[in-house]
Each structure stands twice: as C-alpha cells, then as structure tokens.
Amino acid sequence: MKAKFLLALLPAACLCLPATTLHALQAPIAAPCVKTDPAATGRIVGVVKDQTGAVVPGVKIEALRLASGARKSVTTGSQGRFAFGGLAAGRYQITAVAKAFQVVVVRDVAVTACGETAIDIVLKVAPEKTEIEVNSADTHALGATAQKVENGDRARSRNAAELLGNTPGVSLRENGQLASVPLLHGMGDERAKLLVDGMTVSSSCPNHMNPPLSYIAASHAAQVIVMAGIVPVSMGGDSLGGTISVESRQPVFANAGERLHEENTSSGFYSSNGRSYGGSLSEWVAGRNLAIGYNGSWTTNEDYTDGSGHKVTSTYSQSTDHTVTLAAQGAGNLLVLDASLHHTPYEGFPSAQMDLVRNYAEMLNLRYRRRVGQAVVGARVYWQGAWHAMNIGRDKSAFPMPMWMPMNTHGRDLGYSVQLELPLGDRHTLKAGNELHRFVLDDRWPAVPGTAPMMGPDTFVSVSNGRRGLLGSYAELASKWSPRWTTLFGLRNDTVWTNAGSVQGYSPMYGADATAFNALNRARTDVHLDATAMARYEPNANGTYEFGYARKTRSPNLYERYAWSTNWMASGMIGWFGDGNYYVGNVGLKAETANTVSATARWHDRARKQWDVEVTPFLTGIQDYIDVDALATATYGMSTFAQLRFANHNARIYGADLSAGGTLWDNSTFGQGKLGMVGAWLHGERLDTSTGLYQMMPLNARVNFDEELKGFTAGIGLQAVDRKSKVDLHRFEQVTPGYALFSLHAAYKRGHFEANLAGENLFNRCYEMPLGGVNFDDYMASGWMSQIEPLTGRGRSLHGGLTARF
C-alpha cells in the first residue's frame, strides 16, 4: 500500500543525478536463458565509488520494480560491487544509501529477459549538517544550530538551559538555580518553543518555577538544537521566537559480532561558591534488538555569594532525576520508551515573593520510528503529571513579617505527534505531520488559619480545571534545486482552545472579582496560520547565505487569560517576570503574531575547519504582542510597584548575531590553538509608547581561547556585557551597568577518565544581571522598606568535575 503511494508520486520527480553514469549491456548469461520464455529473468550489477574514485563497501542498494512496487535489497561487498539476480523484465528504480553520503536514486533502469544491466554509482559526500538529520528524527538542518553536549559544557552548567549559553541568538533569564529560561532574539519563556525529547511540557506554576528545561538534567542532555527566528514549521507552532530542542542520547544497540553492548558513565562535581555538588550515573545495556538504560542525577547547593561578599539569599536548591529507557529495534523499526521521575524538594527564588517548596513530576514518552523505503514515519505519545507547591522557604521565613502562604498546583500534559518524511525524487523531501497537546491545570491556595478574611477561611481557587488544547497540522517541502540552491517552504495551522472553571477567593472580600469572572464566557478559540519560506545559496566553497521569512503565532497561556483577582496580595502571586510587580489576567486577550525576516551570511575556508564568520541580522514585527496595561501603582517603603493587566500591543524587535572562530595553530609541537567569539545586539520596543520591551539583553560578546595538546585542554574566556539602558517603564525595569567577567577552564582526558576544572568570575566582579530581575529577598529582609535593586550575579567560583566512562 505504502509502496504504491510512493510510486504514485514518482512521475512528478526529476531524472537521475548527473554524477551517476548509466549504461546498459546486453551481455548473454552463461546459464541457458530463453528470451521468449515468460519466466526468463534479468540482472542488475554495478560498482559504488565515491568522488575520489575509491570503492565504497557496505552501501545499501535497493531495487524497486516500478510496475509492482516489489523491492529487493543488497549491500555492496569489499570491492564496492553489488548484483541483483532473478529480476523480472521491466523498469526499476535503484537507490543507494550510505552513511555520510547523499542518497543516490537512479530512475528508470531497464531490465530485459536474459539481460544484464550495469550501473555505476558515484556517491557524493553529504553536506556537513546532514548528520543532524541522522541524529535527530525531527529536525530539518536548514536554519538549525545543533551542538553536541560535551562534558565540559555539562560541568559548567547548573541546568539544561545553561548548555545554550554560548549559542548565537540565545540569552538566559535567571530563574532560581534549576529553572533558567532561554530567550531567542529577546523572545523567551513561552514565546520560544521548548522541546524536551520531543515533548511539549508546560509550566505548572504562576511564576514558571518549573519550565520545560527544568525537567532534563544537564548531565542527561546529549544534544541541543537551536533555531532562532526562521524556524521550519515542522519544528512546532504556538511560539514566536524560535525552537529549542534538548535531547537525551539516542539508543545504541550491539554491533554484529558483539554479544552485549554495555556503556557506563558516572560523574561528580563540586563548586566552591554556594558549595554546590552532585553526581550522575548512566548505564546502558544493549543486545542487537533490545536495550535498557538508566540515567540518574542528584545536585544540591547553598546560597551563593556575589562579588561584594554579600550572600544572595534564596539561591539554594536540590534536585533528583531518574529516567529508565527501554528500546527495541528490528527491520527498520525503532521503539523507545522513557519513564522519568523528577523531584525538587526545595528551590529558592530570590526574585519572587514565594519559593518552590516541592516539585514532583512523572513523565512517560513513547516514540516509534519506521523506515519504509526512503520514507520515514515517526510517532510519539507522551504524558506528564506535575505536583508543585510554593510557600516561603527557609531564607524568606527568617525575614521580618514572614508571610506563610501555601499554594499548590497540579498540571497534566498529554500529547501525541505523527510525522511522515517522504523524499519526492532526488530533489524534494516532503514532511507532513499532525499533533495534539492538551494541558490541564489546577491552582489552589489553602486557607491559612487565623488570617481571615485576607487568607481564609476558604481555599483560594486561582485556576480551576484550566484547559489549553492545541491541534496542529503542517506540510513542508525541502528542495535541493542544485548544489548551490536549497529552499524550504512550509505551512502550518494550529487551533488553540482555552477555558477555565469557576473560581472563589479566600473570603467575601474577593467576591466581586470572582463573581464577575464566573459570569464571563471564558472559552476561547484561536486559529493560527503560520508560514515559513527560506532559501540557502552556496555560490562557492567559502560562503553560504540563508534568508527567509516566517509568520508565527502564539496564544495566551492560562494565567495571561484567567488570573482573575485584582486584589494586590493575590495578583502579587502571579508573574513569571521576576520584577516584583502584580499581574491580572485578561479573558479578551488575543493571540500574538510575529512576522520575521532574517538573513545569515557565513564565510569559511573550504574544509570549514580553519576559520568561519557568521552574521545574522533580523527584524520581527509583532502584532498584538502580549504586554501589559497599568491598573494602579503602589509604593511600599522606598519602592514603587505596578499592578498590571495583560494587554495586546504592537511591538518590534530587531538586532544581529555575530559569531566567528578560527584555528590559530595546529601542529604536533604546539597542539591546536583556537579562538572563538559570539556576540549579539538586540533592540525591542513597544510601538504605541516607544518604551523598551522587558528583559532585552544589552549588547554582549563572549570570547574564548582554547589550547589543546595531548589530551589536555586549557582555555580562557571573557564575557563582556554593555549597560542595559533601554528598559520597560511599565514594569519599572531597572537600568543595569555594563561589566566584564573572566573565566579559566581546563580539561584532561586519559583513557576512561576526564577531569574538568574551571574558575568563573576570576576577579570576583560584583555585577547586576540584566535578565536577573529584582532581588526581592533583600527587599523583604529590610521589612519592605528599602529601594529594590537588581539581582547580583555569582562571585568568584572554583569548580571541579570528574567523569568516568566504560
């Protein structure tokens, strides 16, 4: 059935590759063969070589009989030769597939009774980025930056989001120790699509203390893929800024001749500032067709000290993760089941009024992949349940006037996705898919005895049976027109519906808002139409140019629409911005739509090994950007806060990313010396008021120098950040001064072991983080009397890690 479907699409496809030569020989075969015999068969034989003329063994060759869809496959031998015998006379299509080479399809090969047709196949080396497609089923290489996560990256990162710290276009918002939030071109949190092993996971918290990337430990991440701005529609809708996909390791099976394949990795680390330590363990046992794996990690840390010697309270955390993986493969099928438990018993949030006092989550992720000829079919079903509790934690409860206030949320994500990837001839690949995601949320704040009517006698129902569903479909065509031109076109539709049940306050003093909210029709449906068009032009071996346009749409989250209370205390519990302000939802909020144009120019040496320079300017216009309107302001002590209602306003973001790298020397005496830099400039403003958008990273750059010699690597790094002066006046966002931080790192690999050492913020500089939000803890410690200040970053910290791999 599938073969016929494939066949139906073939006539539209193009002819054979110019690199392939085809010639037919009508040589008689030694065995008695009678051409007029209806049962007489023919043969196809050939040799596979690469562009240098060397023969290529181990290439899978498939013969497809066009009339019947019947298939046969063989593998080339040590001399690169292959042969098909017993083929019924007719027309065939021959496909050659080999790792690291482009797929070659030879169309319309004639086989005659008693004849032998010879074809020679020349394989061309696949472009560098094809490997991404091989590793990751769900990614299209065009427009993607993929990076393998190294032990050194893991050693430097407190959480999975920090693995992205050196990626062009990405900035990080501080959010506790485990829950940093990446922003792509200034659009982050839910404006960026975050995929954790292909799953869409929601934050079950009005302060986003458990964002998607907090559910994968840095030690478990094997690859991160970042697509900023112009994103293939197959990589997800319901987002504006781009897509970040963090993936754990792909299953590995035993090779032929290997009875059992075993891998074992264990690691431990210690960091001096905040006495952070932890460890991870992973085990993988695999046969030819079945495999089982385990990955576990545990980390703990105390409060850190900033460069002035001041202890930054509520920066402690602890977390445990366990994942068990079962995998099976056979005859082109791959089935993988991940089951995970995640437990954070406590985590302080210095920018929020509340801390995380427990977060427990369970996850199941089942995925299936099947190769049918050249087509790939993928499917995924996943579920997550999260139980999240907030209150003031151990530091905040020691301040004057501690306000104990339990808040409990329960979130459930359920989803599936299916995708078909179908080559149409030599030039085109069609991707089409469908997905469903459903998030259900309850958020309840139990009464605190003796505090009525403020916080009792009833339970405050913040969100009751909040529902957010998404049904999406897309089709995308990637085409390689010539060695120079590649294009990608995609269309996507998502329908997002939200609703929430009736609410109540702690007491009748919340009654007016609750009654008004309960009387509203709260069901909303948004229909998104997204599109992507991009092209890549490679005029020569030294340059690559990409340019494109994307229209992307995101619907409001449940709190943006359904946070219902205008009471100051209650609205102060809503807001994932770390700005100390008070937020109220807006049922009438519309979806936001971004139109982005972007280009990337990349210059490099022929082999892409000696040097490269890449620059990406972009411009995004956002219609109905979900921002805020001020309802009121209040001054407590020396600080003024705003009560804000979510509202749509048009906005614009533009900027440029720059990255460059080069090998300074590479020889046996001095080893290899490398210099790399990443820089970004960003400007975001709201059009009606010409004010800055919240948390736009100021001009910044990182420069790294690394020297590698005989397993030993050492390097020095500089991070320079400009003053943040364009700020969001609606949120009273504060200006932060510029700063520069120096770091050192060293790694030594020998046999099964790798040791990492690092020194961060070497000169113990005291600096305010541009995306760190405010230090609400210090403000609370002053009895709500002081001037609230931006959160300061970690002072000097020395770090050591050890990894053993067997």
Stretch that binds Cu ion, among 202-210, 316-324, 391-399, 429-437 (CB under 5 A): 202-210
**What is the 3-class SS of 655-683, one letter each residue?**
EEEEEEEEEEEEECCCEEEEEEEEEEEEE
To the nearest whole angstrom, how small is the minimum distance from the Cβ of residue 176 to Cu ion? 9
Closest CB to Cu ion among residues 356, 584: 356
Rounded to whole angstroms, the Cα distance separating 177 from 194 reads 18
To the nearest whole angstrom, how small is the minimum distance from the Cβ of residue 207 to Cu ion? 5
Among all chains, which residue has been given the structure tokens 């906005």?
651
To the nearest whole angstrom, how small is the minimum distance from the Cβ of residue 696 to Cu ion? 25
To the nearest whole angstrom, how small is the minimum distance from the Cβ of residue 411 to Cu ion? 11
Closest CB to Cu ion among residues 76, 391: 391
Which of 166, 207, 571, 581 is the binder for Cu ion (CB under 5 A)?
Answer: 207
To the nearest whole angstrom, how small is the minimum distance from the Cβ of residue 574 to Cu ion? 11
Among all chains, which residue has been given the structure tokens 């410690």?
781
To the nearest whole angstrom, how small is the minimum distance from the Cβ of residue 451 to Cu ion? 20
Rounded to whole angstroms, the Cα distance separating 307 from 315 reads 15
Rounded to whole angstroms, the Cα distance separating 379 from 6 reads 19
Q: To the nearest 10°, the Cα dihedral for 234, 236, 239, 242?
A: -60
User: In b/e form, how buried is each residue of 501-533, taking b as 16+ CB within 10 angstroms?
Assistant: eebbbbbeebeebbeebeeeebebebebebebe
Closest CB to Cu ion among residues 145, 313: 313
Stretch that binds Cu ion, among 388-396, 437-445, 643-651, 652-660 (CB under 5 A): 388-396
To the nearest whole angstrom, how small is the minimum distance from the Cβ of residue 362 to Cu ion? 18
Residue 172: CB atoms within 10 Å: 19
Asked if residue 285 lies in contact with residue 297, where contact means CB atoms within 8 angstroms, the answer is no
Largest CA distance in the chain: 104
Site string for Cu ion, 491-510 (x = CB under 5 A): --------------------
Closest CB to Cu ion among residues 48, 441: 441
To the nearest whole angstrom, how small is the minimum distance from the Cβ of residue 388 to Cu ion? 5
Closest CB to Cu ion among residues 93, 344: 344
To the nearest whole angstrom, how small is the minimum distance from the Cβ of residue 402 to Cu ion? 18
Rounded to whole angstroms, the Cα distance separating 349 from 361 reads 19
Amino acid at 622: I
Residue 300: CB atoms within 10 Å: 17
Give burial (CB, 10 Å; 0-12/13-18/19+) of 148: exposed
Residues 708-767 that bind Cu ion (CB under 5 A): none
Asked if residue 297 lies in contact with residue 219, where contact means CB atoms within 8 angstroms, the answer is yes
Q: What H or E segment, with its residue span, contains residue 324?
A: strand 317-330
To the nearest whole angstrom, how small is the minimum distance from the Cβ of residue 467 to Cu ion? 20
Number of residues that bind Cu ion (CB under 5 A): 4
Closest CB to Cu ion among residues 202, 207: 207
Stretch that binds Cu ion, among 384-392, 481-489, 562-570, 769-777 (CB under 5 A): 384-392
DSSP assignments along 730-752, one per residue = GGTPPPB--EEEEEEEEEEEETT
Closest CB to Cu ion among residues 409, 736: 409
Closest CB to Cu ion among residues 20, 408: 408
Rounded to whole angstroms, the Cα distance separating 785 from 384 reads 42
Closest CB to Cu ion among residues 112, 459: 459
To the nearest whole angstrom, how small is the minimum distance from the Cβ of residue 773 to Cu ion? 15
Stretch that binds Cu ion, among 372-380, 385-393, 487-495, 767-775 (CB under 5 A): 385-393
Give burial (CB, 10 Å; 0-12/13-18/19+) of 23: exposed
Which of 209, 213, 216, 591 is the binder for Cu ion (CB under 5 A)?
Answer: 209
To the nearest whole angstrom, how small is the minimum distance from the Cβ of residue 210 to Cu ion? 7
To the nearest whole angstrom, how small is the minimum distance from the Cβ of residue 211 to Cu ion? 10
Using the rule CB under 5 A, is 390 a contact of Cu ion? yes
Stretch that binds Cu ion, among 206-214, 502-510, 663-671, 676-684 (CB under 5 A): 206-214
Site string for Cu ion, 118-147 (x = CB under 5 A): ------------------------------
Closest CB to Cu ion among residues 253, 576: 576
Give burial (CB, 10 Å; 0-12/13-18/19+) of 165: middle
User: In b/e form, how buried is each residue of 570-609, taking b as 16+ CB within 10 angstroms?
Assistant: bbbbbbbbbbbbbbbbbbebebbbbebbbbbebebeeeee
Using the rule CB under 5 A, is 205 a contact of Cu ion? yes
Among all chains, which residue has been given the structure tokens 């993936």?
247
When CB distances to Cu ion are compared, the closest residue is: 205
Site string for Cu ion, 152-191 (x = CB under 5 A): ----------------------------------------
Closest CB to Cu ion among residues 390, 644: 390
Residue 534 CA from chain centroid, whole number:
20
Closest CB to Cu ion among residues 82, 776: 776
Closest CB to Cu ion among residues 170, 390: 390
Stretch that binds Cu ion, among 383-391, 511-519, 707-715, 796-804 (CB under 5 A): 383-391
To the nearest whole angstrom, how small is the minimum distance from the Cβ of residue 345 to Cu ion? 14
Give burial (CB, 10 Å; 0-12/13-18/19+) of 686: buried
Closest CB to Cu ion among residues 163, 205: 205
Rounded to whole angstroms, the Cα distance separating 272 from 797 reads 5
Using the rule CB under 5 A, is 574 a contact of Cu ion? no
DSSP assignments along 472-533, one per residue = EEEEEEEEE-SSSEEEEEEEEEEEEEEE----B-SSGGGHHHHHHHHHS---EEEEEEEEEE
Using the rule CB under 5 A, is 267 a contact of Cu ion? no
Residues contributing to the site for Cu ion (CB under 5 A): 205, 207, 209, 390
